[in-house]
Structure 1
């Protein structure tokens, strides 16, 4: 993650066809650990120190699983699927998550050695060598079946539907999950995945870990600071220029980081709205938040300032643009507390 101008972006973007994608409780048992994602002997207390540690961890592009031995699935289990079905899982020896955020949770629960394939959005280091079963976010039923999974984890917008039905018709349990579009969805998603894989105690332990990390990150929010931050989704090569509003997903992250979502404050009641000079003038963001590839696609900070209306905002005039890697910013998973650590520090800087 970088702050442009000083150094040089499975999921809430569902409306854009992207798979992008709190927390209380404590527990132990079934082999589940409950350690923190950072070394407890070196846990920084200031916002800047936490942000530096978070940035270092994200730069590794690697996950931090729960401490202790990997949990042993207790099966069979029957769970509710978000497509209205009841699904029985009898074997979790070959898990196939069809979303990058879901894969992050599976790996962090300690079940990564059971994962046999990946979705295009699973870009973290532990998953890169796994065979990819999607193309342009569409699932290949043939590729899935060739991996002989014993359970498939999908989202409500996983498609095409014919491919999902073909996988199910082959006798493979398919558990469908609701997409995570806000911070409060993370605990529900983690709990449901852990239950479907027969490791509910590990799910509670991960929820407790993330809860503690988020609380520590929020403690660094200055009491007298509430900047207005606009989330801009851009793909310059495709002429896509959007500003986030209510339900974009970024609004939830910004609220947790002690900021006000500029699009929502300007009355944008849709997740995304085409950028216009009028919308930017109404939003008047102090800071602009973007995905790294989106910022690069418009030519970096200098290119961004050439887009009509950007340079006239307080963020543009002060060159205050924060960007973060695409697969992390809106993943809503185990690495989300690291995102909040960074946002708390970066968006409140003078």
Structure 2
């Protein structure tokens, strides 16, 4: 059995944690505001389009919301004060699954009867109309025309509210993209080839010296009687791999605080147990690619689950995995 690369090097964990925190903080200062700003620009455009469907909140019809369910988050952030999902459900007294479907998937529950749907959406429209923020939508209740400058200003404020509520996922997504780009550069420089996104090649048929990002891999649930696919951030088949051998799996992980990582540390352990059930009797290499706030408690938990890792600030450790 292959020896661990970092999981058993307890003596250097604290130094690695401190170095990784410094690396993440430097990236955050240099690039996170850019990622957030770019998302805000795109969100502002989406908000303007959403507002246009309701005649800029002057005519919020149930039919409009039914035909454009994706605008619910924009409408929630257009009130004074902004309304959380559960608060909107409570204020309007509507079906929770209907609102959550619109929020999460931008669609109306397909099996909901039309009469009930119209009644429920009418309650939502009433709450939004009643609580629309007059300090943002300054044209409400006046007779003079709306200006394009007023629309853009209002859309920017609502977009800020939307982005503020999902700031951490925005930053995490940008960091993950950067991590995978770093891994790609490292692999390409050593003669590896990235499989096309729609190559049709399964993980267990990957040629030696190839890799893929966000590839689906089948696993078994705890009951052992149901198989599902889970996405793995990076799947890499070493240059010297034997035909049909199981490739190496890596999850790109970043975090801007210690609390969040300790809340999420079981996620990787669950994936590891699912992979072990699926490939019982075979050696599984499921590892983490870390950058940010991962303390010794987190590392110890993962090591106990048989999970190893590579720090981004020491990316050359990938070679010790046989790459």
TM-score range normalised by the length of the shorter chain = 0.3 to 0.5
Greater percentage in helix: 2
For normalisation by structure 1, the TM-score amounts to 0.31
* Larger gyration radius, structure 1 or structure 2: 2
Q: Which has the higher contact order (CA 8 A, sep 6+)?
A: 1
For normalisation by structure 2, the TM-score amounts to 0.33
